[in-house]
Amino acid sequence: MAAAVSTNDEILEVWATFKKITKDSSEYEPLRNRLVERYMPLVKYNGERIWQRLPDGVELDDLISAGIFGLMDAIDAFDLERGVKFETYCVPRIRGAMLDELRTMDWVPRLVRSKASKLGVARKTLETKLGRAPTVQEIAEHMELSIKEVEKMQSDANAVGVVSLNKKWYETDSYKDVREIDILEDKKGEDPTRRVQKNDLMRLVTKGLNRNERLIIILYYYEELTMKEIGATLDLSESRVSQMHTSIVNRLQSQLGRRRIEFGT
């Protein structure tokens, strides 16, 4: 097993050596493993944060495995001369790898809709039997679940309804599945209507933007990174990110102006 990196001086030495060698060097893999071990807590922390938002059935280990690949990519791409802390640089890549894994597997929509379907069948069966809408306790007894579990299913089922409506309007949005996860998140009691509006706005304003432009908007306004941090993530200069941001905002303002004319406002 690789030795653990325990001090800042040691980690700086490892980084310096790692960036001087090539991938075919015998030192490459051992050094990268030491860096992975050093920053592994970031993978676990972000994996747990995402995992807590998801329905039952998604394995935390799967998210962490995807995050490790994101971390390794970040280690390979990181430039020591950019003046940005690696912890700041790597987190968007770790989270992005995890969210890409969820999009690829389509876990969130499938799991939630499956539970929503079972809940709907149980409710209809009891309505037919009782001649009225069943209580939560009656549904729980019928499904042999606790009341808390049924309430959780109902909450997830409500989220499915919101997601389905959004899909009709944003079927081609490449960030669709990421936002579905956000819809299921309880952001400290935030108004659900406001949360959905915020997600819809993100889809609207990023529609028609290229990859870097979308990332600049998302990282700046949603992840609250600085222009310098975004530049390090996208391998662009801080001034270039600022120029692109200004250009994007001007285009969006122009688009909104045309919309006002269309709607007579």
Rounded CA-CA distance 82/88 in Å is 12
Mean pLDDT of the chain: 75
Q: What percent of the chain has pLDDT over 90?
A: 20
Which range is least confidently modeled, 105-109, 121-125, 225-229? 105-109
- Per the model's pLDDT, the better-predicted residue between 115 and 98 turns out to be 98
Domain boundaries, the chain: 8-105
Rounded CA-CA distance 87/52 in Å is 22
- Three-state SS for 201-265 is HHHHHHCCCCHHHHHHHHHHHHCCCCHHHHHHHHCCCHHHHHHHHHHHHHHHHHHHHHHHHHCCC
pLDDT at 31: 93
Mean pLDDT on 39-66 = 84
163 falls in which pLDDT band (50, 70, 90)? very low
- Per the model's pLDDT, the better-predicted residue between 136 and 254 turns out to be 136
pLDDT at 205: 63
Residues 6+ apart with CB under 8 A from 11: 5, 35, 38
Rounded CA-CA distance 248/173 in Å is 18
pTM of the prediction? 0.44
74-83 tens-digit pLDDT: 999 998 888 8
pLDDT at 224: 72
Rounded CA-CA distance 229/232 in Å is 5
Rounded CA-CA distance 31/37 in Å is 10
Rounded CA-CA distance 180/3 in Å is 40
138-147 tens-digit pLDDT: 999 998 889 8
Please determine, for residue 17, whether its predicted confidence score (pLDDT) is greater than 70: yes
**What is the CATH architecture assignment of 8-105?**
Orthogonal Bundle (1.10)
- Per the model's pLDDT, the better-predicted residue between 175 and 49 turns out to be 49
Please determine, for residue 73, whether its predicted confidence score (pLDDT) is greater than 80: yes
Q: What percent of the chain has pLDDT over 70?
A: 67
Please determine, for residue 187, whether its predicted confidence score (pLDDT) is greater than 60: no
Please determine, for residue 173, whether its predicted confidence score (pLDDT) is greater than 60: no
Distance of CA 140 to the CA centre of its chain: 32
**What does the angle CA 208 – CA 211 – CA 214 come to, to the nearest 5 degrees?**
65
185 falls in which pLDDT band (50, 70, 90)? very low
Q: Among 147, 48, 135, which residue's Cα sits nearest to residue 98? A: 48
Mean pLDDT on 189-213 = 62
